Chains A and B, each alone.
Chain A
Amino acid sequence: QVQLVESGGGVVQPGRSLRLSCAASGFTFNNYGLHWVRQAPGKGLEWVAVISYDGSNKFYADSVKGRFTISRDKSKNTLYLQMNSLTAEDTAVYYCAKDLSLYNSGSYRPDYWGQGTLVTVSS
């Protein structure tokens, strides 16, 4: 079965950086796009970024564009999110999610989600 395990969350000071990882298993990693979606405490879901199955396409929410970078390593079946210049507004649980469609490079939608990792930006 599909498993997505996030790691790398924690408490970080404003202006600092953090890298999240998501280890994937149970599906053919190279065939599916992958998302990051976040949820601030007590709030709704906010889509953050997606990377296509082959890494050739990357799209970001306006709120993180220029600060966050999504990437993937097919040799490790792992998705990453490099987060720079963090602010308190970035405090959230960050979920990794697999895309619904095989070889998708157009319309992206998450299907399976990990359990999330909490990022707290605070001095």
Chain B
Amino acid sequence: SYELTQPPSVSVSPGQTARITCSREKLGDLYVCWYQQKPGQSPVLVIYQDTKRPSGIPERFSGSNSGNTATLTISGTQAMDEADYYCQAWDSNTGLFGGGTKLTVL
């Protein structure tokens, strides 16, 4: 089981906004990262410290974290954004990952 809870799947139409959630009690007290993983590839960091984008990550990726839920938002979703997305946090000297969300762009 995973200590961070994500929906297994999210579907979105091209050009629409996709929202992927990550939940845990008092998650807002921790910093959350988000990773994108495409089939056969290694994960890529797309959001860190809840809201920050690494260099080279498109502006359509954004993040938020408050209360018990962190959210990855992809605005104007493109076909190339179809992938698995994982949230991550650090707590009590342990790394935590969510179970992953498969984003389908229909």
Q: Nearest chain-A residue to B32 (Cβ)?
A: A109
User: Of the candidates A61, A115, A116, which one forms a contact with B94 in the assembled complex, judged by CB atoms under 8 Å apart?
Assistant: A61
CA distance A46 to B98 in the complex (A): 9
Cα distance A111–B44 when bound, in Å?
7
Chain B residues contacting A95 (CB-CB under 8 Å) are: 42-43
Contact count A vs B, C-beta below 8 Å: 61
The main secondary structure of chain B at its interface with chain A is: strand
Q: Contact at A109–B100, with CB atoms within 8 Å?
A: no
A107 to B29, CA, bound (A): 12
Give the distance to chain A from B59, nearest Cβ to Cβ, in Å: 19
A116 to B31, CA, bound (A): 25
Does A32 touch B at the CB level, under 8 Å?
Answer: no
B42 in contact with A110 (CB, 8 Å): no
Of B37, B42, B94, B99, most buried by chain A (CB within 10 Å of CB) is B42
Given A50-B95, A59-B93, residue A45 in contact with residue B35 (CB < 8 A): yes
Docked complex: B56-106 residues within 8 A CB-CB of A = 84, 86, 88, 90, 93-100
| Residues A63-122 near B (CB distance < 8 A) | 95, 100, 107-116
Q: Could you list which residues of chain A lie within 8 angstroms of chain B, going by C-beta atoms?
A: 35, 37, 44-47, 50, 59, 61-62, 95, 100, 107-116
